[in-house]
Amino acid sequence: MNPGDRVRVERAGVTNEGVLMPSSTPDHLVVKLDGGYNVGIAREDADVDVLESDAHDVEAAQSESAESEIAFDEDLPTVSLISTGGTIASTVDYRTGAVTAQFDAEDVLRAVPDLAGRANYRGRVVTNILSENMTPAVWKELAEAVAEEIRAGADGVVVMHGTDTMQFSASALSYMLDTPVPIVFTGSQRSADRPSSDNVMNAVCAVEAAKADAAEVLVCMHASTSDDACALHRGTRVRKNHTSRRDAFETVGAEPLGRVEYDTETVEFRRDYAERGAVDLDVGLELNENVDLLKFTPGFDTERYAELLRSADLDGLVVEGTGLGHVHTDLIPVLEDLVDDGVVVAMTSQCLEGRVCDRVYDTGRDLLDAGVVEAGDTLPGTAKVKLMWALANRDDPAEAMRRSVAGELQERSVPWT
Amino acid sequence: MNPGDRVRVERAGVTNEGVLMPSSTPDHLVVKLDGGYNVGIAREDADVDVLESDAHDVEAAQSESAESEIAFDEDLPTVSLISTGGTIASTVDYRTGAVTAQFDAEDVLRAVPDLAGRANYRGRVVTNILSENMTPAVWKELAEAVAEEIRAGADGVVVMHGTDTMQFSASALSYMLDTPVPIVFTGSQRSADRPSSDNVMNAVCAVEAAKADAAEVLVCMHASTSDDACALHRGTRVRKNHTSRRDAFETVGAEPLGRVEYDTETVEFRRDYAERGAVDLDVGLELNENVDLLKFTPGFDTERYAELLRSADLDGLVVEGTGLGHVHTDLIPVLEDLVDDGVVVAMTSQCLEGRVCDRVYDTGRDLLDAGVVEAGDTLPGTAKVKLMWALANRDDPAEAMRRSVAGELQERSVPWT
């Protein structure tokens, strides 16, 4: 029995006939039915008859499957799976021994037979890149693709994305889209060929979240090192806080918005969220990419950067300052010159937790006098994305940086919590 | 009874006579004895006789006290208190309503009467700046001052430091000094005029740590939001992870090295540490300041930075990459050019937790091929300081970045923990 064979599989009283496809898990057979639908069948207790050996060209069947429509079950919601690449859509490249992204959305269905029966799926590939290569241009393509899927009737969208910059793309879509349905980013910290891979559970939980009620841009990844649940994080408050752990993603400064139990398939929310259908779909693709993020640390060469910043002709600058939002005193006049030239300069903190407050110390007060805007407790990376959006979409982008637009800034009057 | 009065104070059978000094706490009187020693006396049950009103100029007495020798108790260890400024040495500036640094080390003794009786103190002011204004030049002055105090017989050194960049200064001293005694950084997240100030407990715990056995550069700050204990963090693994909380400082990727119980004054260590007296004092003040830290995030303008990096004539560059240590593919040739020009380029991760591993994905392998050095799980800020030191002190600074020098890099073969 090999991929390409025509087989008949009987299990638990159900018979499926079609072409055996490669499966990424030893526990499941994947059979491509004549209608083009890939079905995953548990190998245990399954009876397989090989009807014809090597009956089909698997590669052709796979490429065909990439364009095929999936059998529609009107009792199930429709979830669009959008692939952008990354580990969740990758296998080991035996040429280099490393992992490259090379799957499309239909392949994910094949790789994760557990997704079958949970929804009607629409598959779509926006790009196929490791997420360190994500750019604002791709965010726009992705936002457009998500919007098209929602217009086409998707009840929820799952975005498969590399984990390196998932939080930035999730932030970008949080600002670019008003959404009546959930948009759930998921990915994988360990590729499918590893026994500890998190790709199946994350994908399954993301689909369950896409069927649930929170019509927000969410990130769905392992909640702990166990395989029992995924956490649902608001796209603008989440951060990859570990290079390799499966539970690397954390909501900063708050509890995650919700949780998906893997076994029971229940989705719970712990805080208020935007409800499904509460807003109409709205898309704003404009971003001003002329924004930089500057991290200040001791030994910072003010002269070198003064030159860079003056010649860069920026429209926005996010500063990742120290503590409550500080930089060396020598840098303040440089920032003041930028503000005087019309650049929006927003202050965040490299502490990551807690809010910026520039009213406490001399340095901070000098920064405020220079026209630097406090971004509250907005994460530095989120602030960069937000500023790109605010410059292109708001009359007063500086004021926008002080207020929450997509849950990125928790309103509190007192910095001492 | 006012500051400047000559007073006699009797309490619990002990009589002290001298000049009443301003006290920052309502619970304590501070009396400057004729020998120049400031003694703190609990106000409760104290009998005070004013011997002469307005007998002394308090300002003169304070400046005199800055130079005074403190009464020596040969049964107690000697701890040097070195002040660099920051909140722990500050009071509210009523002119601006903000907090400015304006105290010296002797003033800290006056502000924290609880320090009395724990050690013989030597006081010293290296500088008086908010720590966002710290520079490598001040690190050198500080390292020299610490070394002088150790040569003069200090059994331990406490460095009072602003919290914004304390982790950078602690890292710098970790590399610049081989120390036979504890060097304990402490500071304050809330100034002394606030009811929630942490300055007293942090200072007391730091002195206790300076008397203990771990001859390392440590950071001593609140372990939790309670006033029960301080955590002792290794200088190269600690990070200020919150803008305002008193327990903002955390050891990244490990448990803190130890803990000081405030009530019982006990110091406990949970992991191996360098023992008191195990090494002789050695000081290396050379740093190569021609090092930059570059944080890569999506939307990074490679062209702009390529120009900056090429013209900057750097000797070292620490990259704060994404995930396991990645940047956009377009940036890799720019880094390769730098390496070819002799710049040491070290990769760290903005995830902060977990180690860099560039053998897994194409991008990482390309970075290794370009000659970029993996800095393991060294924190990006620590890596910047370490590279300044390695370039000036090691024949093969690139190799030094791969190995632990001062506990900054936890050796582990597998990135998937």
**pLDDT averaged over every residue in chain B:** 88
Q: Of A244-248, A340-344, B36-40, where does mean pLDDT reach its minimum?
A: B36-40
B410–chain A nearest CA distance, Å: 14
Cβ–Cβ contact A289 with B under 8 A: yes
Which phi and psi (to 5°) does residue A350 adopt? -70, -10
Which residues of B are less than 8 Å from A244 in CB distance?
A: 324, 354-355, 357, 415-417
B253–chain A nearest CA distance, Å: 9
Model confidence at A417, pLDDT cuts 50, 70, 90, reads very low
pLDDT in tens, A304-332: 899 889 888 999 999 999 999 999 999 99
Q: What is the pLDDT of residue B56?
A: 73
Cβ A351–B327 below 8 Å, yes or no? no
Cβ–Cβ contact B310 with A under 8 A: no
Residues 50-89 of A with CB under 8 A from B: none
Q: Of A358-362, B281-285, B396-400, where does mean pLDDT reach its minimum?
A: A358-362
A211 assigned to active site: no
pLDDT in tens, B362-402: 889 999 999 999 999 999 999 999 999 999 999 999 999 99
Is B69's pLDDT higher than 70? no
Q: What is the pLDDT of residue B15?
A: 81
Question: Hey, which residues does B251 pair with through a beta bridge?
Answer: B238
CATH code for B72-283?
Answer: 3.40.50.1170
Model confidence at B24, pLDDT cuts 50, 70, 90, reads low
Which residue pairs from A43-50 have beta carbons closer than 8 angstroms and sit at least 24 positions apart in sequence? A45/A11, A45/A12, A46/A9, A46/A10, A46/A11, A47/A9, A47/A10, A47/A11, A48/A1, A48/A7, A48/A8, A48/A9, A49/A7, A49/A8, A49/A9, A50/A1, A50/A5, A50/A6, A50/A7
Cβ B243–A415 below 8 Å, yes or no? yes
pLDDT in tens, A14-34: 788 888 877 655 666 777 777
Model confidence at B127, pLDDT cuts 50, 70, 90, reads confident
Q: What is the pLDDT of residue B16?
A: 81
Residues 24-53 of B with CB under 8 A from A: none
Cβ A164–B323 below 8 Å, yes or no? yes
A6–chain B nearest CA distance, Å: 36
**Three-state secondary structure of chain B:** CCCCCEEEEEECCEEEEEEEECCCCCCEEEEEECCCCEEEEECCCCEEEEEECCCCCHHHHHHHHHHCCCCCCCCCCEEEEEECCCHHHEEECCCCCCEEECCCHHHHHHHCHHHCCCCEEEEEECCCCCHHHCCHHHHHHHHHHHHHHHHCCCCEEEEECCCCCHHHHHHHHHHHEECCCCEEEECCCCCCCCCCCCHHHHHHHHHHHHHCCECCEEEEEECCCCCCEEEEEECCCEEECECCCCCCEEECCCCCCEEEECCCCCEEECCCCCECCCCCCEECCCCCCCEEEEECCCCCCHHHHHHHHHHHCCCEEEEEEECCCECCHHHHHHHHHHHHCCCEEEEEECCCECCCCCCCEHHHHHHHHCCCEECCCCCHHHHHHHHHHHHHHCCCHHHHHHCCCCCCCCCCCCCCC
- Annotated active-site residue in B84, B87, B251, B348: B87
Model confidence at B68, pLDDT cuts 50, 70, 90, reads very low
pLDDT in tens, A218-274: 999 999 999 999 999 999 999 999 999 999 999 999 999 999 999 999 999 999 999
B87 assigned to active site: yes
Per the CB < 8 A criterion, the answer to whether B79 and B63 are in contact is no
> Which sequence spans correspond to the domains of chain A?
1-57, 72-283, 291-402
pLDDT in tens, A58-104: 666 555 444 444 557 889 999 999 988 776 666 544 344 445 554 55
B401–chain A nearest CA distance, Å: 18
- Asked whether the domain spanning A291-402 has the same topology as the one spanning A72-283, the reply is yes
Is B88's pLDDT higher than 80? no
- Annotated active-site residue in B25, B100, B164, B292: B164
What three-state secondary structure class fits A147? helix
Residues 127-186 of B with CB under 8 A from A: 130-136, 162-165, 168-169
Which residues of A are less than 8 Å from B96 in CB distance?
A: 362, 365
Query: Was domain B291-402 assigned CATH 3.40.50.12780?
Result: no
pLDDT in tens, B325-354: 999 999 999 999 999 999 999 999 999 999
> How many beta-carbon pairs under 8 angstroms link A with B?
208
pLDDT in tens, A26-58: 666 777 777 555 666 778 788 999 998 887 776
Cβ–Cβ contact A322 with B under 8 A: yes
What three-state secondary structure class fits A63? helix
* Rounded distance between C-alpha atoms, residue B97 and residue B187, angstroms: 21
Nearest to B299 among A289, A325, A327 (CB): A289
Nearest to B318 by CA among B171, B119, B207: B171
Cβ–Cβ contact A381 with B under 8 A: yes
B382 assigned to active site: no
Residue of A361, A385, A388 to mutate, testing the B interface (most B Cβ within 10 Å of its Cβ): A361
Which residues of A are less than 8 Å from B356 in CB distance?
A: 243
A362–chain B nearest CA distance, Å: 6
B163 assigned to active site: yes
CATH code for B1-57?
Answer: 2.30.30.520
Residue of B nearest to A307 (CA): B308
Residue of B nearest to A137 (CA): B299
Which residues of B are less than 8 Å from A248 in CB distance?
A: 351, 353-354
Q: What is the pLDDT of residue B61?
A: 56
Cβ B329–A132 below 8 Å, yes or no? yes
Which residues of A are less than 8 Å from B130 in CB distance?
A: 326, 361-363
